[in-house]
Amino acid sequence: MAAITRNFSARSLLRAMLVVPLVGWAVNAAVDAARAAEAAVTIPAPAVDAAAPAGAGPRTIVLAGGCFWGVQAVFQHTKGVTAAVSGYAGGDKQTAIYDMVGTGSTGHAESVAVTFDPQQISYGKILQIYFSVAHNPTELNRQGPDVGTQYRSAIFYADDDQKRIAEDYHQDFAVLHPTYPYIVFNDAPKVENLKRLFPASYRDMPVTVMASTKTGH
C-alpha cells in the first residue's frame, strides 16, 4: 500500500510539474495580449489644418505605424478615405518582399498609402486618427508585439521617387480574416478605438482594395 501511495505521489508531482509551466504560459500570453491591445489616447487636433480648396481632388499620404494590417484596417473604416493600400516605404524596390522586409534588414517600414477626399476629411484629421488609434508614436522601432525597424513610425510624402510595392495577400487582411488571432488581439481593438473615439469619422463598411480593383478606381 505504501508503494502505491508513493507511486501516486510521484504521478501527482509529475502532473504538477507539467501544469505549472502551462499556467505560466497562459498568464504570460494574457499579459502580452493585454499589452498589445493597449488603450488609445486621443491626441489633440492639429493647431493648423488647411481647408480643402474648391474642387480639390483626392490626396494621398503614406503612413507607417507597426504592422500594416492594423493601420490599413483603421483607415478602411474612416469616412472620407477612398483607399488604404498596404505596402513598403523607405527601402529598395528589389527587397520590398514580405519575407525579406520581416528580417528588419532591408530598411523598409510596413506602410499604408491612405487616399482621402479632402472635401470629406482633412489632412489634419487623418493625422489625428493616425496618432490616436492607428499606432503608438512613443514606441521606438516596435508596435505591440512586433519588434524591428520595419515596424517604426514614419510619415512618407508621396512623390515619384518613393515607389511602393503591395502584395495582394496582405491587402484587406483584417477584413478577410477577422478571426485570425493576430487580428483579434492586436488590430481589431484599433478599429474599435476608432469607432469609440471618432464616431463621426467611423464607417461600418470598410473601403477595400478588392472593391476598388473591381470598380477600376
Please give the positions annotated as active site: 67
- Distance, in Å, from the CA atom of 61 to the CA atom of 168, rounded to the nearest integer, reads 20
- Distance, in Å, from the CA atom of 217 to the CA atom of 208, rounded to the nearest integer, reads 11
Mapped onto helix, strand or coil, the DSSP state of residue 65 is strand
Cα-Cα end-to-end distance for the chain: 80
Which phi-psi region, left, alpha or beta, contains residue 52 (left: φ > 0; alpha: ψ -120 to 50)?
beta
Q: Is the dihedral of CA 48, 54, 59, 65 positive or negative?
A: positive
Burial 9-39 (b: 16+ CB within 10 A, else e): eeeeeeeeeeeeeeeeeeeeeeeebeebbee
Contact 69, 182 (CB under 8 A): yes
Cβ-Cβ contacts under 8 Å for 177 (sequence gap 6 or more): 183
Cβ-Cβ contacts under 8 Å for 191 (sequence gap 6 or more): 73, 74, 77, 174
Helices (H) and strands (E) in the chain, counts: 8, 6
